Amino acid sequence: LYRYRVGDILRVVGFYNKAPQFKFVCRGDAVLSLDIEKTSEADLQKAVAAAEAAHLIPHNTRVAEFTSYADATTVPGHYVIYWELSPTTDQTEGLPADYVMEQCCVVIEESLDLSYKEMRVYDRSIGPLEIKVVKNGTFDRLMDFAVSSGASVSQYKPP
């Protein structure tokens, strides 16, 4: 039995007898925000999927896991996205070139809502989005650390 927070978004992926089986999709109340803009986790997932389809898949790479945060320690603040990438075939070319990652940033920013774009382009109160690629297995190691610190495997959800 899993416990979810009120507001979590779940997808029914099947049934066991007549009981629904769920897959965790995202936190319903999770947002990135630096000012008055609000970027939901679902909107960010769509933007990441668009960047992946446009620029990573053609290079035999996909986003295995990702997380994000709004970095307010810089002026102006900006969104930071951590990606764990994995090859889609046995023949990998290594990490995509810098220009591919820059194009991914462009696609993500273009996919976000109007308030983000206004603050990014016109007000310049939000700095350029940043993608940081982490080593393969980083998210698994993070889960292992959480479990070794007392968290339940069945209750763990990536940040």
Q: Where are the domains of the chain?
A: 30-155
Burial code (b: 16+ CB inside 10 Å, e: under 16) for 4-22 equals: eeeebeeeeeeeeeeeeee
Tell me the C-alpha distance between 130 and 85, whole Å: 15
pLDDT of residue 152: 64
* Helices 41-51, 98-111: inter-axial angle, 10-degree rounding: 140
Fold entry, domain 30-155: GMP Synthetase; Chain A, domain 3 (3.30.300)
pLDDT of residue 108: 97
pLDDT of residue 83: 94
pLDDT digits (tens, 9 = 90+) for 13-48: 889 888 888 776 665 656 788 888 889 888 999 999
The three-point CA angle 58-101-69 to 5° equals 125
Three-state DSSP state, 118: helix
List the chain residues with pLDDT less than 50.
1
pLDDT of residue 31: 74
pLDDT of residue 157: 61
pTM of the model as a whole: 0.75
Tell me the C-alpha distance between 136 and 84, whole Å: 6
pLDDT of residue 38: 86
pLDDT of residue 2: 58
pLDDT of residue 6: 58
pLDDT of residue 21: 82
pLDDT of residue 92: 59
| 158: nearest Cα among 51, 73, 84 | 84
pLDDT of residue 20: 83
pLDDT of residue 50: 97
Tell me the C-alpha distance between 14 and 23, whole Å: 9
